[in-house]
Structure 1
Amino acid sequence: MPVEVTRDTELPLIIAKLWGQVTAEDIVELYRLSNQLMTSEDDLIYRITWIAEESETTFPEMFKAIQKATLALPASTLDSRIHPIFLGTSSWITFARNAFLQHGRHVPAFDTMEAVMAYIHYDLEESAETSSH
């Protein structure tokens, strides 16, 4: 299966990596694994979805995967607890971002892990400042 999902030990962060031939079932598995890594204390968790350049997914399969991704499943991209972020330069990222935007969900995308981590740290600092006022 071309899905690997891990939880950061210090940040409210899940990292999901997709590679090879990604199917709609793989997207559901990504959500299932993400949900297993979440706790009842997780009001907000960032999930980096890293789509590897070597992804061999065809357009019809990616279309089905996006349809699955827009379902309101626990730990899905539309789950209000999840703050989704895409990592990579795959053309599928633009396609997926547009699909989520049609469902009212903006998903930021970055080319490097360093940029993603800078974004997360900035967002956490902003949230802490907002909640302390």
Structure 2
Amino acid sequence: MVQVQGRPQCSRAKLTATQKAERCKRQEALTDTINTAKSAYAQEAAHISETHGRSLKWTHNQLFLRSCMLCQQRGVNSWNAFVRAKHKEANEDLEKGERIQLTQFIADNKTKLVDAHSKLTFAEKRVYNMQVLEAR
């Protein structure tokens, strides 16, 4: 290890010309494979749009949306659900131009909100979470 400005830094051996060439080949193979997959995807999307009488843009959007279902979705946060409910209560009687912004509401009432949230039971937190899920 080499010391650089007081902190240790790992040093690696330089790649040989053979290693560089191999790395370059692997990168080119990966790029080719990805490009092949992209063209196959485009052809399949075009085929689906023609077969079912939909636009290509609509088909691309549908295919993309379906792939997002495979992504991991984050759950509802009980703190955010609680603050959302309290903010909604505070703005309930106010007109459109007079409503309190969420960031300002949190800044003004942070200690009260933290205390109230810490006193909630698990069941009460779950009710707030369910309200958010229903609103979605």
The answer to which structure, 1 or 2, has the higher relative contact order (CA under 8 A, 6+ apart) is: 1
- TM-score between the two structures when normalised by the length of structure 2: 0.21
- Name the structure where strand makes up a greater proportion of residues: 1
- TM-score between the two structures when normalised by the length of structure 1: 0.21
